[in-house]
Every structure is written in structure tokens, then in C-alpha cells.
Amino acid sequence: ATLLTDDGLREVAEYADGIGPAVQLIADEPSRAVVARGLGLEIHPYTVRASRLPDGFSDTGAYMRYLFDDLGATGVFT
């Protein structure tokens, strides 16, 4: 999770096009996604499962909209 700090994300942006954090890391700390996108990094969180939706989401579509529209994910690993 050290790479998800502001300094860590700046460092990653020097050599990578994106990050692939555990979905819970960015869902629990949405500011990490904001910083990553601000640095031009793509975000592909893992593991997104329809069978294990987090509290507050009743269907996969709503969860995907949250990940893509609210957190700025550019892809997901399932």
C-alpha cells in the first residue's frame, strides 16, 4: 500500500501507465484514485466479483458504475 501514497503514486507515474490495486484499497480510500488519475495513471482494480458485492450495492451494474464513473477505473480484473 506504500505505492498508493501521494509520493508512491508520483514515483509509479514515472515508469508506469497505470496501477492495479486491490479493489478494496481504492474503494476504502477514493482519494487514491483521484490522485492516480490526476497523475495520468490508468486504474485497473482487482478482483471484482458479482458474487461478492460490497455493502451498499445491490447489483453489479451499480457497482461497475461506481468503479468507472466515480472512482475513474479504466478497467477491472474479475
State pTM to two decimals.
0.88
pLDDT at 1 over 90: no
Domains in the chain: boundaries? 2-70
**Amino acid letter for position 32:** R
**42-66 pLDDT per residue, tens:** 999 999 998 999 989 989 999 999 9
Query: 2 or 34: whose pLDDT is higher?
Result: 34
Does residue 71 surpass a pLDDT of 70? yes
Instruction: Give phi and psi for 50, each to the nearest 5.
Output: -65, -30
- Compute the distance between CA of residue 70 and CA of residue 7 in angstroms, rounded to an integer: 23
pLDDT of residue 2: 86
